[in-house]
Amino acid sequence: MVQFASDGRPLPSPTPVSQPFFDGARRRELMLQRCPRDGFFHYPRSRCPDCLGDDWSWEKASGRGELHAFTIDRIGHDPALSSRIPFAIGVVELEEGPRMTANIVGCELEDLRVGMALKVEFEDVDETTLVRFTPR
Partner 1 sequence: MGKDAGAIIGLTEWTPKRVWDEPMFGMEACARLAAEALEDAQMDKDEVDGLVIAGLQDSPMFAPSALAEYLGIRSNFNEVVDLGGATSCGMVWRAAAGIEVGACDTVLVLTPSVPQPPKPEARKGPGKMRMPPYLGGDAWGSPQGQHEIPSGLVAATPGFALAASRYMAFHDCTQEMLAKVAVDARHNAQSNPRAIFRGKPITVDDVMNSRMVADPLKLLEIVMPCFGGAALVVTNKSRAQRAPHRPVYVSGHGEHLTHKSITYAPDLIDTPVRIASERAFRMAGAEREAVDLASMYDCYTITVALTIEDAGFCPKGQGGRFVAERDLTWDGGDWPLNTHGGQLGMGQAGNAGGMSHVTEAVRQIQGRGDGQVPGAELAFVNGNGGILSEMVALILEGA
- What is the footprint of partner 1 within residues 5-44 (CB under 8 A)? 9-15, 18, 42-44
With respect to partner 1, which residue has the nearer C-beta, 6 or 115?
A: 115
Is 100 a residue that touches partner 1 (CB under 8 A)?
yes
**Distance (Å, whole) CA 3 – CA 56:** 28
Return the number of other C-beta atoms located less than 10 Å from residue 128's C-beta: 16
Is 1 a residue that touches partner 1 (CB under 8 A)?
yes
Is 79 a residue that touches partner 1 (CB under 8 A)?
yes
Summarize as ranges the residues that interact with partner 1 (CB under 8 A): 1-2, 9-15, 18, 42-45, 68-75, 77-79, 81, 84, 87, 89, 91, 99-103, 113-115, 130, 132
